[in-house]
Structure 1
Amino acid sequence: MSELKDFAGRTALVTGAASGIGAACAKALAERGADTLWLVDTDEAGLDALDLPCTVHRITGSVADPALWQRLEGEWEALDHAVVNAGIGSGGQIAELDFADWRKVMDVNLDGAFLTLAAAMRAMAQKGGSAVVTSSTTGIKPIAGIGPYGVAKAAVAHMARIAALEGAPKNIRVNAIAPGGVDTAIWNSSEDFKRSVEAQGREATLKAMAGTTPSGRFATAEEMADTILFLLSDKAANMTGHVLVSDGGFIL
């Protein structure tokens, strides 16, 4: 349990909160004193499994649904912080991708991020706040076979920069984090990953995948949450429009 209570009395939104980086952020915010959390995910069971020592509003639904945000804006009074994190994985060569598969990724990873950030900034307009958007090193370094994912992650990083310019006069800070490999459930959507896990186990699979990372390891969701909470916190009061890379040296 953290003794640091730098989010005491604050209200925060976290999307993709049922697992991985989102769940780690929700737990860290609660441990560090957050008063109220609004958690959004399509995984109702995952949201229900989070046992947090604060007031929690669990919302089951897609971040790409405009009606969800219209409803939430009518329910919350204000926000201090937002973690724009929900996303899905993808695979396939660009020339071979079906447009429906492309749109499925863009719907959540780009359109959903836009709807989330826009609603959050409106909720922060009166007294200011801070937001962090989850981008990816695949939005910086091109990786074959994950076209829509990489394109969407590049787009949300630039969206964060534009939002930082627009939010600054209202004391709203917006930054992005670009993780490299992180051990989260997003890998479970890959058939190749699942076959490797069946053959040699998850730990060995992740270690092999991390062979292209100079540090030789994938990060934990908790490590990413620590970095995200730094960007959200008052300790980063002079940081906005920044894309912070946390990748073990992957893009070197």
Structure 2
Amino acid sequence: MACPSIRIAGDVSNEAHWAEVESHLTRLDHAVLNAGVASGSAIGQTEFAEWRRVLATNLDGAFLSLRAAMRTIADNGSMALTASISGIRAEPGTAAYGASKAGVIQLAKVAAKEGAPRGVRVNAIAPGGVDTPIWDDMPFFRGLVDGHGGDRAAALADMAKMATPLGRYATAEEIAGQIAFLLSDAAATITGAVLTSDGGYSL
């Protein structure tokens, strides 16, 4: 049987958007909180407006979506938040993004404790590099692609070989499968955890 779905486009950092979303929600069994934007600049060169842009989407948006989910999730439901290895491992040029994703990890842990009395499980996944369009917003990556004659796939593959012991980044489908595991009954005793999926980058 197909599950009913409603698509409501909007700014995840806008509380009014979530008021509209919540007006359509009656019950959730599972939730995946995945919205995010990228950013890359040294702290000394980061404009406050850019800091706020990233934190608004990645952390304010995570809080607002998590709040809506916690209000409507059924007993024994499960949720997964998309964090990042940048929320665990520090690298130059990742202050706004890393801080926002560290905040997502902590949100997941707090929500796990708050949801536990109802059997609600909340976990986070912390991917390393994943082949998604988010790279295309990063100035250093655009430069790398230019250095590879415009071959995006080759640039990403070379970067992965240098950055990860496994020599490759994850696909979006692989991360989706890992999220599905966290939501499933196979992970029935897992809550408040952070699944690191980074090809060994953080070793």
* TM-score bin, normalised by smaller chain: over 0.9
Match of 2:119 in 1: 171
Matched AA of 1:148: A
**Share of identical aligned residues, percent?**
51
- Tell me if 1:240 matches 2:188: no
Which residue does the alignment assign to 1:228? 179
1:196 aligns with 2:144: yes
Q: Which residue of structure 2 aligns with residue 88 of structure 1?
A: 37
**Aligned-partner residue type, residue 190 of structure 2:** M
Aligned 1:83-232 pairs, distance under 5 A: 83-124=32-73, 126-198=74-146, 199-210=149-160, 211-232=162-183
Alpha-carbon offset, residue 200 of structure 1 = 4.4
Distance in 1 of aligned mates of 2:75 and 2:121: 12
Partners in 2 of 1:150 and 1:56 — Cα distance? 32
| Amino acid in structure 2 at the alignment position of 1:205 | A
Q: Is the 8 A contact 2:40 2:139 kept in 1?
A: no
Conserved in 1, the CA contact under 8 Å of 2:12 and 2:64? yes
Alpha-carbon separation, structure 1, partners of 2:109 and 2:140: 35
Q: Distance in 2 between matches of 1:69 and 1:220?
A: 30
The Cα shift of 1:196 comes to 3.0
User: Which consecutive unaligned segments of at least 5 residues does structure 1 have?
Assistant: 1-8, 10-34, 37-54
For CA contacts below 8 A with separation 6 or more, give which structure has more relative contact order: 2
Counterpart position of 1:77: 26
State how far apart, in whole Å, the 2-side matches of 1:127 and 1:100 are: 40
- 1:136 Cα deviation (Å)? 0.6
Residue aligning to 1:3? none
- The runs of 4+ residues in structure 1 deviating greater than 6 Å are none
Q: Distance in 2 between matches of 1:197 and 1:98?
A: 25
How big is each residue's C-alpha offset from its partner over 1:38-93, in whole Å with a ceiling of 9 and x where there is no partner?
A: xxxxxxxxxxxxxxxxx331111111111111111111210011111100000111
Measured against aligned partners, the alpha-carbon deviations of 1:116-172 in whole angstroms (never above 9, x if no partner) come to 011101101x53311101111111110110110001111110110111000000111
What residue ranges of structure 2 are gaps of 5+ in the alignment?
none
In structure 2, C-alpha distance between the alignment counterparts of 1:68 and 1:200, rounded to whole Å: 38
Note the aligned Cα RMSD (angstroms): 1.3
